[in-house]
Each structure stands twice: as structure tokens, then as C-alpha cells.
Chains A and B, each alone.
Chain A
Amino acid sequence: MIRLIINRIFATILVLIGVSFVVFAALHFSPGDVARTILGLGATEERVQALRQELGLDRPLLIQYWDWMMALLRGDLGRSISLGVPVSEVIFDKIWASLLLMGASFFLTVSFGLLFAALSGGYHRSLMDRLITLLMLLLASLPPFWLGIVLLIIFGLKLRIFPISGVGAMADDATLYVVAMHLILPAVTTAASSLAVVARVTRSAFIDEMGEPYVQAARARGLSQRRIISIETMRNVLPSFVTIAGLQIGFLFSSALFSEIVFNWPGIGLQLYLGIVQRDFPVVQGCVLAIAIVFVVGNLLADILSIALDPRRRG
């Protein structure tokens, strides 16, 4: 099992190197000229060329990549073009804000995903199963930018239960309660479709397990349906549940991109959006890289967890 885990870690490092090159190359080949963006309207072509040289944009791609990588390992992500401050300063806080949002949405995805899966898979073809399946279908098809605005209108404007935006604005009265109030709607919005996917996949696993002989044996021994679902089959459902939940980390990031914009949540997604709009390529690189790292590491953790949970793979 240790070998399996070491293999996975090694593969993860390779993936990260690949990701860093793709991020670097993608921005390098996207249309638009960084030098001109920096110098703005009215800069002469000579000035633009001079700056291109100064920034090293005229050197071979691999050499540029190598320098960029070395700087990266020192924690130097370059300087933001639009803001004039180091990228690492800009995105450090954003990563935590995003992780908070991600953590909350992941918690919702996992807990409610499992709950709904157990309630519908465990009671296959019951009315509850049908209702939950319908609800999940609905959740899976709601785009986050639409759901977010609708939730804001209902719970923010009409009912005034939750604030509209403003987390991250500077004042001294931040309490856990206030953060939580700001967090709930974006977390629900981000989690919605992932939650539905997790619930649907795990539901099938439950249905499969429910037909197994050991479940019949448990029934014959007189165990309650609730106990069968929550104890007996749960252990065998968990590995596939963990795998699908781990995969959701990536989807959660893409939903978070939308909900961060809708709720003006000061995370990496909002910063990425601002970076793209202002053509601030060091910021875009930094954001994409941060997202990729969290995604890859998240999947690694899910893999390790599912190895640990599955007796057949423990070795």
C-alpha cells in the first residue's frame, strides 16, 4: 500500500510539472502582446519591442519556461501588470478565501450527497427515492450563475436572511457567525451540481449493494433497514463514494468561479476573472497554477483515502 501511495505521489509531481508547462505555454500562445498591454495606448512600436526584450519575451520558449519555473520554486510568481504588486501577495489571501468556500461546498457536497444517496438508494423505487432523484436532476442542471442570483434575490433581498456580498471588506467586527452568514449562499450555489452528481453515483452503489446476499442475510437476522443502510452497506459504498467525491473538487472549482463572481467572494476565481479581463497574465498564471495544485493534491488525497478504505487495495 505504501508503494501504491508513493507511486501516486510521484505521478502527482509529474502531473504538476506538466500542468505548469501547459499553463505557461497556453498564456504564451494566447493572442495579445504583454508588452503593449503594459505600455498602453500611444506607445510606439520601438518602445514595445524594447520592453519585450527587457521582459525577455523574445527568448526561446523553453528558456523562458526554465526561468519562470526557477522563480516559481522561490515563491516568485512575478509582478502583476495591472496592479504593480507581486502576484504572490495578490493571490495568497485569495487562496484561503477560496479554500474556505471550497471547504464549505465540499462539506455540503459530501454530507448531503451521501445523505441523499442513502435515502434514495437505500429505499430504491420508493416515493422518497423518486422525489430525491427529481431534486438531484434539478440541482445538476442549474447553472451556478443563475442559481446564485436567484438565491440572492430570495434570501438576500426578499427575506433579508443573508447578506449580498462584502466578505473581505475591511472592518473589525468579523465573527464566525458573520463569516458563516456570508458563506452559506455561495457554498450552496457552488455545491449544488456536484452534490447532485455525488448523490446520483453513490445512489447506484447503494442500489447495487442492497441486492447483495449479505444484505439479505442481515435482513434475515432482523436488522432494521436504517441499520443496514447506515452500517452494513455503508462500508462497501464508501470507496466509490470517496472517489466520486474527490473528482468533484475540480468541478467545485469551476462552479466556484461563477459563484465567486456572483457573490463577489474575494477568492482565486474572482481574481482569475479580473486577471483575464485586464489581461494580467502573471496573475492569470498564478491563479491557474494555484487551482491546478489544489485540484491535483485534492485528487491525490482522495486516492489515498480510497486506498486506505478499500481492503482489497490495502495490500
Chain B
Amino acid sequence: MIKFNKENFHKVKNSFLSGFLAIALASLTITSPALAEKNTITIGIEADLARLDPHISTTWNTFKALLHMYEGFVAEDLLAENVETPPIVPSLAESWEISADKKTYTFKLREGVSFHDGEPWNAQAAKFNLDRMTNPDFEFHQPGSVGLLSWVWGDLESYKVVNDFTFEIKLKQPNAEFLRRLSAGGSGTPRMISPAAVRKYGNDGINTNPVGTGPFKFGEREVGVQTVLVKNSGYWDEKRVPKFERLILRGIPEVTTRELGLLTGELDMISTPSPDSLEYLEAQGMTMVKGPVSTIYPIWLNFREGPLKDVRVRRAMAMAIDREGMTKYLRRGTATPAYGILNYGGPGWDPEYRDFPYDPEGAKKLLAEAGYPDGFETRLDWTMGGGGDVNTRADAEWLQRDLGRIGIRAKIELFDNGTYWDMLAKGTREGTCCMQVSWGETGFFWLDLILPTTAQPPNGFNSGYYENPKMNELLASARATSSEAEMVKILHEIRDIVTDDVAFIPLYTPIQVYAMRPEVKGFVLAPQHWADYTSVYKE
């Protein structure tokens, strides 16, 4: 039987407490406010990073770190100001030649560059990485990258080392966007890892020991807390040598906590404050940097859902939605209406283009014409979103109200992002008219995943079963064009057909926002899902 007298209780209590505290303290250590350290920039982002292996990386947030550690043949210049799309610039390749048939790319590699572990960058290292991404027989092949990087290497025919600093890639067919895809990230990224590091740490070990050539080296990471990157003083590009020593990325999912951390100086910068807080943060002296991003929120329409089989119904739904009002009153200036399926920052985007007018009266008439004078009942399947999405539920409610005004009574069902993508991959379920995610890239490769009939579930994200075989041909010919003008012309044709068929209702382009403390300067906001932090400094 257990006896609790005062003495042994204290003994037990004390030894328990001290042991417990020691272990608890060992697992917890503390940052002093970032304010105190001039050489450290601490950024509060929307979520913790995922895998740090670039060939199987997943989220847009993760690429905020990866782009600073790893590089590829080419890159998007994220420090270019006042551009719609970041220009493509040389990175680990100094220059390149494209053959007359547009199928062979010969890269002249940059000399004198080494990985963070001292391993030299050369054509062998390039081959090692290509093998890792695409060759299933290679010792260090990363199987996850085949699917994740299919949008980059889908047209790959072969590659070879020409000499130490020349590397050649052959494609099966021309691809007008190939360099753009080589420079991109988000869902896998074709960037170069030190071969020595892969040999040393193994394929899985790269997630905890990332070694690239970028302006920052990996410092340390505590999962769920933060990732610390350290300045690479020997970085080859003088313009992008960081102006500070340590970059700390802290994933803080709760937006209020991010904002409060910024106000108290624990954080130097935050991404995506709440639209409702912008005025307050500004009044507190914070600097706000805003700009559009190559993203669009399109609504997938379900072509298999009774009433929606009729194009007049789909058009009526599109005409019922007040996009201008939504961006002005709901998004409060953190979005602009989107017209047409081509997204801002992507090829062929045209600021003058308009698709559907906002006309609820006309919409009602159209609905009556189609045989639904009293509307119908349906459902909106929605997601809470991931990284940069803010209060997407409010979008669904806005839509619910707008559709309600023409008699379409919609229920809203909300899902977490992971489940939601699975639902999209399986196809819109019965009884649901609309689904929506944020998408869009600086290239048009995402359209390959949502428009062609070949991308219908389970082979893609044509989740509303949009059936127009012409899309397949047009997209293939857009990919195979050899000039941008030609490509854009075909993309415009695609856009106009999507509008005529009312296959999607584009909703808005988000304006992304970074808020920073007044002493933080030099930040350039790229029209991308990520930004280059090397130019930031504290006064």
C-alpha cells in the first residue's frame, strides 16, 4: 500500500519535478526577440515547411526555404521589380543554346561554383541529379520525384555529359515552356543537390541534411517550430550574397499570433496577415508590401450534375456572381477580380479581357429559359485552404448568397486541404455543383492538369468532367510551339473556349501581402508564391 507522508511526498515530488523540468527544458529553448539581432531576419510564414529534399518537395511554403538553398540550371529573377512575370535568368548554367528543332538544350555550366559541403558543381553533378530524378535504375533514384516532377521531365528524351562544364538535354517534342518549368518549384523542383551529400546521408537523409549551392546554407531545423538558414559567404552571385547572417523561417499557422509576434518585435516580417488587420498594422507603423501573385481562384463546375449539363445554367451561375463586390467588400483590396482561365503572371494573361458580366436579372432569365425558373438545390464543396489562403469559407458564403439571389439554394461543406485535394482527384461528387482551390503558375502547365479530357479523374484534376476534346489538341500544340507569340495565341483560343463553354468561373487573383517592421528594408515582393529574401536588411 502506498503511504503518503509529508517527507517522502516531497522527495518524490522534487525528484520528479527536477527530472521532468530538465528533460522538458532540454527539448525547449528560447529565442530572444529578433529585434535585438540586427543580423538575423525572422519571418513568420503560414505553415511549417515540409520535406527539404527538392526533388520530392511539396508545398509553396517549403519552396520559400528551398529556393535559397538550392539552385538549378536557370532561375526566375525574383528581385526584378515591376514585372508581371519574373524573367528567367542564368543560374548554375551560365548560358544555353537551343537547337533549331527546339528539342535539344545545351547548357554551358557555371565554373568555380561549389556546393555547401565543398563538392564541386559540374556536368557530372548535373547528371547525378537528373539520374536521381528520372532514372529508376539509378542507385540513388528518388521514386517520389517521377510523379511530382512529371510536369518538368514529361517530355524528356535523354541527357548526357558533353564535357566537364557542358550538359545536354534532349526532349521528345518542343516545349515552349521548358526553361520556365526548369526554374519553377512548388510541387517538386529540378534543383541540384550535392552528390556527395546524397551518398553520405542517403536518399532520405537529404530531408534533414539539405546541401545545395544557394545563397543560404542549411543551419538547423526543429520540426513544427522553425528552420534556420545561414548565409553562404562564398556565394557565386555577388548581387545575391545575403545582407544578413541568419534567416529564420517560423511556421505560425494562427494568423493573429503571427500579427502579434510582428507587433511585439519577435518577428521581423510576416506573410499573409488577415485582410481585416491591414489598417491596424499600418497604423502601428508596420510597412506593408502588397502585390498580385500568379494565382487564380477558379471554380470547377460539375458537368455531370443535372442542371449544370445545360450551358445556360452554368452561364447564369457565372453571371450571378458579383466578383467586383467580393474583392472590394469581402477581400477588402487583397484581391482583384479574375476574368478568364489564364492567371495573372502566367503566359497570355490580358488585363483587358472580360468574360461574364455581373447581371443577376439576366441570370434569372437564363435560368428560367433553361427550365429552372425556381432554381434548384445544390452543394458547394469547399476547402479551408493551405498556405496563403485566408478565410476561404467567406468566399463560399458570398457565393451562396449570390447564387441564392437567382434561386439556386446551395449548402456549404468544408474540408481540410489534404482531403479536399483527394476529392478533386476523385472527381466532383454527386450533388455538388462547385469546387474551388487556388492555383495558377508562371507557366501554363497547370492547365494540362485541369482542362483536357485525359485529365479527368483519376488521371488529373479535370474534376468537373469538362468534356471538350479540342482542349487536348490545343494544349499539345501550345506546348509544342516554338515562339512565345504563337503560344500565347493558342492560349487565348483556349481561354475563349473555356469561357464559351463556361467550364470554370474564375473568381479572383489574390494580392499577397507581407507586413514588416519599420526597420526592415530592401524587400522585393515577386509576383510568385515565394520571394527572394537575400536583399532584405535591417536599418
Of all chain A residues, which has the CB nearest B458?
Answer: A45
Q: Which one of A80-88, A113-121, A129-137 is at the interface?
A: A80-88
How far is it, in angstroms, between the C-alpha of A83 and the C-alpha of B419 when the chains are bound? 18
A217 to chain B, nearest CB (A): 26
Cβ contacts under 8 Å, B226 to chain A: 168-170
Note all chain B residues with C-beta closer than 8 A to A179: 24-25, 28, 30
Number of A-B contacts (CB under 8 A): 215
Interface residues of A in 75-109 (CB under 8 A from B): 79, 82-85, 90, 92-94, 96-97, 99-100, 103
Expressed in whole angstroms, the Cα–Cα distance for A103 and B225 within the complex equals 21
For the complex, what is the distance from the CA of A37 to the CA of B424, rounded to whole Å?
A: 12
Partner of B418 from A97, A168, A169, A279 at Cβ < 8 Å: A279
Q: How far is the CA of A48 from the CA of B144 in the complex (A)?
A: 10
Taking CB atoms and an 8 Å cut-off, the chain B residues in 220-259 that contact chain A are 220, 222-226, 228, 248, 250-254, 256-257
Interface string of B23-42 (1 = CB under 8 A from A): 11111111111000000000
B150 near A266 with CB under 8 A, answer no
A166 to B250, CA, bound (A): 9
Could you say which residues of chain B place their CB within 8 Å of the CB of A270? 224
Are B225 and A43 in touch, CB under 8 angstroms? no
Per-residue A-contact encoding for B15-29, CB less than 8 Å = 1, 0 else: 000001101111111
Which of these binds chain A: B49-57, B80-88, B317-325, B484-492? B49-57
Interface string of A22-44 (1 = CB under 8 A from B): 00000000111100111111111
User: CB-nearest residue of chain A relative to B16?
Assistant: A103
Report chain B residues within 8 Å CB of A30: 419
- Would A36 and B425 be within 8 Å (CB), given that A163-B266, A169-B31, A308-B2 are in contact? yes
CB closest chain-B residue, reference A79: B204
Question: Given known contacts A33-B422, A174-B29, is B256 in contact with A149 (CB within 8 Å)?
Answer: yes
* Contact status of A170 and B222, CB under 8 A, knowing A33-B422, A264-B257, A308-B4: yes
* Contact present for B260 and A153 (CB under 8 Å): yes
Residue of B nearest to A54 (CB): B143
Q: How far is the CB of B5 from chain A (nearest CB, A)?
A: 12
The digit string for A247-264, where 1 denotes a CB below 8 A from any CB of B, is 000000000000001111
What B residues does A79 contact at CB under 8 A? 204
Q: Is the CB of A261 within 8 A of B147?
A: no
Beyond A36-B422, A45-B459, A84-B207, is A97–B27 a contact (Cβ under 8 Å)? Answer: yes
Q: Is A31 a contact of B422 with CB atoms below 8 Å?
A: yes
Question: Beyond A164-B266, A170-B29, is A42–B261 a contact (Cβ under 8 Å)?
Answer: no
Q: Across the interface, name the chain B residue whose C-beta is closest to A305.
A: B2
**Interface status of A204 (Cβ within 8 A of chain B):** no
Q: Does A173 sit at the interface, judged by CB under 8 A?
A: yes
Minimal beta-carbon separation of A167 from chain B (angstroms): 5
Given known A-B contacts A31-B422, A41-B461, A170-B220, A176 and B253 have beta carbons under 8 A apart: no
For window 58-78 of B, CB contacts with A under 8 Å fall at 58-59
- A39–B458 Cα gap in the complex (Å)? 13
CA distance A79 to B51 in the complex (A): 12
Q: How far is the CA of A217 from the CA of B412 in the complex (A)?
A: 65
- Please measure, in the bound complex, the distance between the C-alpha atom of A96 and the C-alpha atom of B28, giving whole angstroms: 9
Contacts of B356 in A (CB 8 A): none
Given A38-B144, A157-B260, A169-B248, also A85-B416 (CB < 8 A): no
| Assembly CA distance A264 to B225 (angstroms) | 8
Q: Is the CB of B28 within 8 A of A84?
A: no
CB interface residues, A 30-67, toward B, < 8 Å: 30-33, 36-45, 47-48, 51
Decide: A96 near B23, CB < 8 A? Known: A1-B1, A271-B224.
Answer: yes
Contact check: which of B50, B58, B423 meets A31 at CB < 8 Å? B423
Write the chain B residue with the least CB distance to A281. B418
Say yes or no: B51 contacts A82, CB within 8 Å. Answer: yes
Kindly provide the distance from the CB of A153 to the nearest chain B CB, expressed in whole angstroms: 7
CA A45 to CA B207, docked complex, whole Å: 26
Task: Tell yes or no: A171 within 8 A of B by CB.
Answer: yes
Q: Verify A171–B31 contact, CB threshold 8 A.
A: yes
B367 within 8 A of A: no
Option from A1, A47, A103, A263 in Cβ contact (under 8 Å) with B257: A263
Asked if B357 is an interface residue, CB under 8 A from chain A, the answer is: no
Q: How far is the CB of B379 from chain A (nearest CB, A)?
A: 16
B211 to chain A, nearest CB (A): 15
The one of A41, A43, A44, A274 that contacts B47, using a Cβ cutoff of 8 Å = A274
Given contacts A93-B27, A266-B28, A277-B417, contact A41 B449 (CB under 8 A): yes
Give Cα A278 to B26, complex, Å: 28
Question: Would you call A274 and B253 a contact (CB within 8 A)?
Answer: yes
Q: How far is the CB of A113 from chain B (nearest CB, A)?
A: 18
Bound Cα distance A105, B264 (Å):
25
The distance from the CB of B185 to the nearest CB of chain A, in whole angstroms, is: 13
A172 contacts chain B at the CB level, 8 A cutoff? yes
Chain A hits for B177, CB < 8 A:
none
A156 located at the interface, meaning its Cβ lies under 8 Å from any Cβ of chain B in the complex: yes
Residues of A within 8 A of B256 (CB): 149, 152, 262
* A160 close to chain B: CB less than 8 A: yes
Interchain nearest-CB distance for B353 vs A (Å) = 27
Contact of A273 with B by CB under 8 A = yes
Chain B stretch 388-442: residues in CB contact (< 8 A) with chain A? 416-419, 421-423, 425
Contact B24 A97 (CB under 8 A): yes
Residue A276, interface by CB 8 Å:
yes
Is B257's CB under 8 angstroms from A164's CB?
yes
Nearest CB of chain A from residue B123's CB, rounded to whole Å: 28
Q: Is B263 an interface residue (CB 8 A)?
A: yes
| Cross-chain contact B147 with A40 (CB below 8 angstroms) | yes
Query: Which A residues touch B419, using CB under 8 A?
Result: 30-32, 279
Residues of B within 8 A of A85 (CB): 204, 207-208, 223
B386 part of interface (Cβ distance < 8 Å): yes
Select A276's contact among B206, B257, B416, beta carbons within 8 Å.
Answer: B416
Contact flags A185-226 to B (C-beta < 8 A → 1, else 0): 000000000000000000000000000000000000000000
Say whether B25 contacts A176, CB under 8 Å: yes
Name the contact of A100 in the complex, choosing from B24, B207, B260, B418 (C-beta under 8 A): B24
Contacting residue for A264 out of B32, B148, B254, CB 8 A:
B254
- Contact across chains for B224 and A94 when beta carbons are under 8 A apart: yes
Chain B hits for A152, CB < 8 A: 256-257, 260
Measured CB to CB, the residues of A under 8 A from B are 1-2, 30-33, 36-45, 47-48, 51, 79, 82-85, 90, 92-94, 96-97, 99-100, 103, 149, 152-153, 156-157, 160, 163-176, 178-179, 182, 261-264, 266, 270-271, 273-274, 276-279, 304, 308, 314
Top 6 A-B pairs, shortest CB-CB distance: A279-B418, A43-B147, A84-B207, A169-B31, A32-B422, A39-B147
Knowing that A85-B204, A170-B226, A262-B256 are A-B contacts, what are 20 other residue pairs whose CB atoms are under 8 Å apart, sorted by A's residue number?
Answer: A31-B423, A36-B422, A39-B144, A41-B187, A41-B449, A47-B146, A51-B143, A84-B206, A92-B27, A149-B257, A169-B225, A170-B220, A170-B228, A175-B30, A176-B25, A179-B30, A264-B254, A274-B251, A277-B253, A314-B1
Q: List 6 A-B contacts (CB under 8 A).
A: A42-B460, A51-B143, A152-B257, A168-B222, A261-B253, A264-B257
B residues lining the A interface (CB < 8 Å):
1-2, 4, 20-21, 23-33, 47-48, 50-53, 56, 58-59, 143-144, 146-151, 187-188, 204, 206-208, 220, 222-226, 228, 248, 250-254, 256-257, 260-261, 263-264, 266, 386, 416-419, 421-423, 425, 449, 458-461
